[in-house]
Structure 1
Amino acid sequence: MKISDVQTLAMSTPWRDLTFVKVTTDEGLVGWGECRLPNRTADLLAYLNSAKRRHILGSDPFRIEDIVTRMFRDDFVRAGVVASCGIGTVEMACWDIIGKACGQPVYRLLGGQVRDRIKAYANGWYTVERSPEEFHAAARKVVERGYRGLKLDPFGAGWYELETAERRLAVGIVEAVRDAVGPDVEIMIEMHGRFNPKQAIMIAAELE
């Protein structure tokens, strides 16, 4: 079995652009992968188009490590975030093909079932004005839909270090969300790796 075609599809949403990859084999099996790379969708599509010719077409989808290694190592520059995102998308599509070829769900090929239920958490629910009041109202709507966990980024465009007022606003937003959802709902706070260690420790201490 060989990969005979790779197609990319980009879909815009109010929150983020989504990228899908359709990998087709010469035996007619199709696998799908997807990813999201905020503000870099055009770069991702260009990379996948180049990698399609250089590394993917003609490959055996069962030889995932071979494909990944070539995509990661065999270009002129070291793989960065765009390439890593593209690699993960293609790998996902290959696993989809393998599962279909074997007549098995992919989770079984990756080690099997561990539990009967998996918790879901809400993300992308806070596309509102960055204020404690707006986050409070939005968070309440989330738990009313039945979610018992939610993730948020209260830091806006903050990077590396925050001014005191910005840090207090972020903490105030988290406090408002906790007040809205009560003590039993899990809250996950996303920093996106943007802060230096000192600032991250300071923020974590204030959030405690």
Structure 2
Amino acid sequence: MSKEPIMALMFSRLARNFARNGYYPTDELTLERTLQALLPASSGRMRILDPCSGEGVALAEVAHRLERNRTEAYAVEYDRERADHSKTLLDRVLQGDLMDTMISRQSFGLLWLNPPYGDLVADHSGASQYQGSGRRRLEKAFYQRSLPLLQYGGVMVFIVPHYVLDDELCGWLTNHFTGLRICAAVDRTFKQVVIFGIRVRRQDLARP
């Protein structure tokens, strides 16, 4: 196995106003159906990451689905109370803002990404790193920050409101992933969809 990924906070910020805003945990039935689509690795161990873990329940369920004794579950969570709960369920949890972290690139075989929902405001920590010309959304900012952490050949599970899937985000997905699938969440309260994909290099998409 490759060396353990580095996970650390780069620095702390004094002003944050989004700790609880945009937090939408995955409903139980949607989580159950999503887990059914995942299979354990054929051999060896797998590292999995949730960069917006909430209380850690979703990633803990993923780890058990993928065989807990062969899975290392890593997470980042901004809210201290939720991070403390995550630490009781997962292997390694970093309490802080994902945008302020240093995490080894391509270190994880599965990325579970249910980011905060909402517009990306100018004073958000991710605004300065954001690259895009379409509507500036938190979901896009967290996607951009999280994508490099996933190995090529790794699986992403991306849970977002369907109305976020504009031409820009759909273009990113089709450039970065193959085998894309999408399904609606069981609970329609937050208008969520679940997107599955396998990360590939862009040049590989053009090969027959």
TM range (shorter): under 0.3
The structure whose Rg is larger is 1
Looking at both structures, which has the greater relative contact order when contacts are Cα pairs under 8 Å and sequence separation is at least 6? Answer: 2
Higher strand share: 2
Higher helix share: 1
* TM-score, normalisation: structure 2: 0.28
